[in-house]
Amino acid sequence: MGISVIHCCCFIALLVPVCAVMCYQCKESRYAACSDTFDVHNNSTLIQIVQCNEGCMKWVVYHDSGSQTVERGCAAQRTFEDRCSHEVQEQLHGSHCYCSQDLCNQSSIPLTNSWIILLPLLGIEIISRHI
């Protein structure tokens, strides 16, 4: 029994999150360029890009005053899912987004490179079985 394309895809998908990733690093309190409406092309000299071992994060905190604070950088935890979660605590609420691909903390919706690799190969596997 040979190794199928699906087995190879699953193996590759498991490897992707293990590698170090590049992440945007900034705090809105220091640079207005780090705000939630982030445009990397306009802010390329103000925003640092750093190598992170665990993945990237983006935190947005909404204050009762109507203001918000945004921070981007390396994720501190080792295990997480590529997703955003919303939290409410006393006088503020916010969202925490974690992702594991290069420069994925630009937006609020993390993209998964594993699926970008896996779906076309899965399609090839299905088509090859019907030929």
Residues 85-129 pLDDT 10s: 888 877 678 998 999 899 999 876 544 455 555 667 667 777 878
The whole-angstrom distance between residue 98's C-alpha and the CA centroid of its chain comes to: 5
Please give the Cα distance from 88 to 116 (Å, whole number).
33
What is the distance between the alpha carbons of residues 7 and 83, in angstroms, rounded to a whole number? 25
Q: Which residues of 87-107 are buried (b: 16+ CB within 10 A; e: fewer)?
A: eeeeeeebebbbbbbbbbbbe
Give the per-residue pLDDT at 1.
Answer: 47
pLDDT at position 57, please?
93
21-66 per-position pLDDT tens digit = 999 999 887 677 788 777 777 656 678 899 999 899 999 998 888 8
User: What integer pLDDT is reported at residue 72 of this predicted model?
Assistant: 93
Q: H helices then E strands: how many in the chain?
A: 2, 6
> Please, what are the domains in the chain?
5-117 (2.10.60.10)
